Amino acid sequence: MESGRGTEYRKRPGESIQHRRRPSEGGERRRRPSEGTEYRRRQPEGTEYRRRQPEGTEYRRRQPEGTEHRRRQPDGTEHRRRQPDGTEYRRRPSEDTGYRRETSENRKPRRRAPEDVLYTQRSEKSTEHRSGSGGYKPRYRGNIRRVRQRNLRVGIFLLVLLVGIAGAVNAIKAKQQEAAAQAYAEQQAKKEIQEAEEKEEDNGLKLADESEKDQWYLKLVNAKNPMTQEDVPEVATETIDANGYQVDARIMGDLEDMFADAQAAGRNPVICSAFRSWDTQEYLYQNKIQRVMAEEGLSQEEAAVEAGTVVAVPGTSEHQIGLAVDIVSSEYMNLDEKQMETEDQQWLMENSWKYGFILRYPLNKSDITGIIFEPWHYRYVGKEAAKEIYEQDITLEEYLGAEPVGSSQAIESDSEEETLE
Ligand SMILES: [Zn+2]
């Protein structure tokens, strides 16, 4: 537009000086001296064209299009793939040689390399399937099936394997648990036995040793352990007092000591029965039968049963082995429960164990001894056993671990009635 105005001034030549007087606007002057400036100005318009050329850097970029290719070359292998078409084959040679052989036929299966291994194996097996299917697609589908089937088989196999392993592990665990439970049960059983033993010890139940049971002074004689006439041990007896009562000679010392100490304590107990021979016991028993028959009008068999409840049947009395002594108070000589109330009996019951004697048929023990309470019948068992039996408040049967006789046939007395009148 400005150049257009300038052109108008130049068309008026006379006024051109006026134009020079306006030097301040000099930018335009220089362009005026040469009228062709317009042309030149147009040339510079071409400059625009030149300027466009530099702007055409795009154009330069377009010229070396190969440059782009070069830039891409270093970036990626893609460029190499495009230049030599066969290069693709070169890349894949890294895979199996078996795979190469097949590539000559089909490329697609190559691209799915992981499955190919299976594919090649199966294709070698069945050529019929290839020809029958006609193309590689159906073959491929068949292969997929086979692969899936194989995978399925492998999967099932692995599953079965896992189940088997899990089963084995469980079985082992179960066995371990069973073993642990068994060990625990055994431990518990041992504990219970130990506790039971400790309890027994705590109760103070110290019983006779097996070897001790064979000792003569612990010989058990009762209704459940009767003797035949032949079984009765031959006892060397010795007369204990002026009445002529005899005992086993081996207990004489202890018996004498007991009586001496009782008398020293102001007591005066007396013996009313001691050793009885088989004949004596038999006589007592038969005599009792006769008396029952006469007094109660019973038959001999009935009378024998009745007599057996009062007088010990021969073979079942401790008096027959010389270890039993019936002792009563000189102040009260009746054989009944009041006997225990006498001072003489009180002293004997408290002290007899020190000399090896026990009160053999104590109160409330009839179910074990088979004999009613007899606070006069003393039995020698030796000092050790006597102490244990006395302190533990048990019977000879209990001390020996023998079977209780039972109270059903408990006899009233094994004493010699006749001597107590
Ligand atoms: Zn007696």
Burial class (CB in 10 A: 0-12, 13-18, 19+), 281: buried
Whether 328 shows a pLDDT value over 80: the answer reads yes
Give 130 Cα–ligand 1 centroid separation in angstroms.
118
Active site residue 343: no
Please, which residues have CB less than 5 A from ligand 1, an ion? 326, 377, 415
Percent of the chain with pLDDT over 70: 61
- What digits encode the pLDDT tens for the residues 121-156? 444 444 444 444 444 555 666 777 788 888 888 888
Q: Tokens for 223? A: 């209704």
- What digits encode the pLDDT tens for the residues 347-406? 999 999 999 999 999 999 999 998 889 999 999 999 999 999 999 999 999 999 999 998
Give 54 Cα–ligand 1 centroid separation in angstroms.
152
Give 7 Cα–ligand 1 centroid separation in angstroms.
177
Per-residue pLDDT, averaged over 173-197, amounts to 86
Expressed as residue numbers, the domain containing 116 is: 107-203
The pLDDT confidence band at residue 1, using thresholds 50, 70 and 90, is very low
Identify whether residues 137 and 11 lie together within a single domain.
Answer: no
Q: Per the domain annotation, does 67 fall within a domain?
A: no
Give 76 Cα–ligand 1 centroid separation in angstroms.
127
> Of 200, 230, 374, 391, which residue is the catalytic one?
374
The pLDDT confidence band at residue 408, using thresholds 50, 70 and 90, is low
Mean pLDDT, the chain, integer: 75
Q: Per the domain annotation, does 78 fall within a domain?
A: no
Give 316 Cα–ligand 1 centroid separation in angstroms.
12
Identify whether residues 231 and 343 lie together within a single domain.
Answer: yes
**Domains of the chain: total:** 3
Identify whether residues 223 and 188 lie together within a single domain.
Answer: no
Angle at 227 between CA 405 and CA 368, to 5 degrees: 15
Identify whether residues 196 and 308 lie together within a single domain.
Answer: no
Give 398 Cα–ligand 1 centroid separation in angstroms.
19
Identify whether residues 291 and 407 lie together within a single domain.
Answer: yes
Identify whether residues 194 and 235 lie together within a single domain.
Answer: no
